[in-house]
Amino acid sequence: MKTRLSILLALLLLTSSAHGQETSAQVTDRLLFEEPVAGPAFVIPVKGMIDGPLAAYIERALKDAADAGAGLVIFHVDTFGGLVDAADEIRKTILNADIPTVALIDKNAASAGALISYAADRIVMVPGASIGAATVVQGTSGEAAPDKYQSYMRGLMRATAEANGRDPSIAEAMVDESIEIEGITVEGEVLTLSTSEAIELRVADAEQASLDELLATYEVNERDVVEHQLTRAEGLLRFFSSPVVQSILMLMMMGGLYFELQSPGVGFPGMIAAVGAAAFFGPHYLLGLVESWEIVLFVLGVVLLLVEIFVIPGFGIAGVTGLAAVLLALGFSLIGNIGFSFPSGQAISSAVLTLASSLVMLIIAMFSLGRMLPRSERFSELILMPTLSTDTGHTSAQTHIEWLGKIGTSITDLRPSGTAEIGDERIDVVTSGEYIEKGSSVEVVSVEGSRVRVRKTRTSA
């Protein structure tokens, strides 16, 4: 009896081992191409946020691989996603490649990363990797975008899956939580697959422990491996194209311009605005992601604002047009358009969100700095202006407290500084920022040392 039981267990073990070897062989066959890899293997990183500069880089990298006679391109993927329009550009670039392509997912291929991985001829995942969760979200809020955007993404995932012989319904389930596939996903959950699940469902073709193991599987000699990298210009561009950095640069431009116009003359605020504009437009223009007309529109807007302030004072047509031109130029520069051809609504809404958030931060910063900074003890120490009050016995020979509340006449335009006649004296005065025409009746509202602040009287015409 024991002998028969031992023989039965041995047969079961042999059967299990043979089945495992067969499964492993099938997975390896799915990984390999019909023709052996002949030529160098290019390894291209797809990491961080998926954006326009990355799409331009991958297009260049594939061209370099083709020029070098590469026999294999491996996309080393580790991303949580990014812009759908940029991912679509990368998807089309990969699908159109004449070189065999492999997406090595290490460790994440979420959202736009899943779309890019689906575009490769083969998908390989390291242990513990995941692919899926490709629902389109709005900006940084994390909320799902309207259904028209989900429909567009479903179509991209379905078409890409079909192009490479993968199940389109599984690809769509990674986008739409309402899609239910029996035995795979339930309604209400967006599909995300682990390495083993992706292999079982034939989304991925194999599991490999590392890039080196994958290269060994394709019998690529170490000397024939080219690890392609971003150029310094492309790396710098990716840094400056991040939404956070773009917001900071726009704050530098608009804030610097505002404070420079408050105290005319080429000074520190003007330098900050110029540096912000150069850092915002320069890298994008060099790589063709900002059109010339957008820069011209921005410069024209600034010129119109200067004309409004210094040539034809008053907030009129030139001022409104200049402000609109500046905002439109900044908005258009955030969109990856070609000439006057613009992408889908998602890229436009993302640009509007970035611009709007920057304007809100600018308003908050101007209000906060205008009220709090002059009263700050640390700021006073920084600019060597200790508090000298009459309570401590300090007085100023130039203080004319008797002018407070007096009515006078502006004898120059106040933009916002100028000269007014108070009583029988001509004195230098400043407004709170508003423009007051020459000959207007003004009232002294505060006297702080030699600084006399006035406003237009309510009875003045």
For residue 88, is it within any domain?
yes
| pLDDT score for 367 | 67
The pLDDT score that the predictor gives to residue 325 is 87
Q: Is residue 384 assigned to a domain?
A: no
Taking Cα atoms as reference points, which of 109, 114, 63, 115 lies closest to residue 88?
Answer: 115
Residue pair 231/60 in contact (Cβ under 8 Å)? The answer is no
Distance CA 166, CA 144 (A): 26
* 194 and 125 belong to one structural domain: yes
Contact 413, 431 (CB under 8 A): no
Q: Which of 320, 343, 374 is where one domain is finished?
A: 374
Strands 130-132 and 192-194: antiparallel
Give the tokens for residue 277.
């504009």
- Give the integer Cα–Cα distance in Å for 299 and 308: 14
Take residue 104 and report the two structure tokens written for it: 């090595």
Integer angstrom CA distances of residue 281 from 24, 117, 256, 313, 347: 52, 32, 16, 29, 18
Do 73 and 216 sit in the same domain of this protein? yes
Q: Residue 70: name the closest of 204, 215, 213 by CA.
A: 215
- Give the per-residue pLDDT at 344: 56
Residue 341 region by backbone torsions, left for phi larger than 0, else alpha for psi between -120 and 50, else beta: beta
Show the 3-state SS of 34-90.
CCCCCCCEEEEEEECCECHHHHHHHHHHHHHHHHCCCCEEEEEEEECCECHHHHHHH
Distance CA 14, CA 31 (A): 26
User: How many percent of the chain have pLDDT more than 90?
Assistant: 29
Rounded Cα distance between 289 and 272, Å, is: 23
Same domain, 309 and 429: no
Provide the residue range defining the domain that includes 16.
1-28
**382 within some domain:** no
List the CATH number of the domain containing 130.
3.90.226.10
Which candidate, 60, 42, 44, places its Cα nearest to that of 52?
60
**Helices and strands (DSSP H and E) totals, the chain:** 15, 13
Same domain membership, residue 428 and residue 337: no
If asked whether residues 77 and 129 sit together in one domain, one would say yes
Look at residue 227 and give its three-state secondary structure.
strand
pLDDT digits (tens, 9 = 90+) for 20-58: 443 555 566 788 888 888 889 999 999 988 988 899 899
If asked whether residues 206 and 332 sit together in one domain, one would say no
C-alpha distances (whole Å) from 363 to each of 230, 280, 306, 434 are: 37, 20, 20, 17
Same domain flag for 18 and 71: no
370 and 405 both lie in a single domain: no
In this prediction, residue 393 carries a pLDDT of: 52
259 falls within a domain: yes
Question: What is the tally of structural domains in the chain?
Answer: 4
For the chain, give the longest Cα–Cα distance.
127
Same domain membership, residue 110 and residue 219:
yes
Q: Nearest 5°: phi and psi at 368?
A: -65, -45
- Report pLDDT for 382: 44
Residues 212-241 pLDDT 10s: 999 999 999 888 999 999 888 788 878 887
CA distance 452 to 348: 47
- Mark whether 106 and 196 lie in a shared domain: yes
Question: Are 101 and 157 in a shared domain?
Answer: yes
The per-residue pLDDT for 43 is 97
- Give 172's contacts (C-beta < 8 A, 6+ positions apart): 154, 157, 158, 179
Nearest-5° Cα angle at 197, 207 to 29: 40
Tell how far CA 253 is from the center of its chain. 17
pTM of the model: 0.64
> Does a structural domain hold residue 79?
yes
Q: Tokens for 340? A: 């006057």
CATH code of the domain in which 422 resides: 2.40.50.140
Tell me, yes or no, whether 445 and 324 share the same domain. Answer: no
- Which regions in the chain score pLDDT beneath 70? 1-28, 138-143, 261-267, 284, 286-289, 309, 313-316, 336-355, 365-400, 459-461
Residue 381 lies in a domain: no
Handedness of CA 210, 214, 219, 223 (dihedral sign): negative
Asked if residues 78 and 108 have their Cβ atoms less than 8 Å apart, the reply is yes
In-domain check, residue 415: yes
Domain boundary among 343, 374, 405: 374
Boundary-marking domain end, from 342, 374, 406: 374
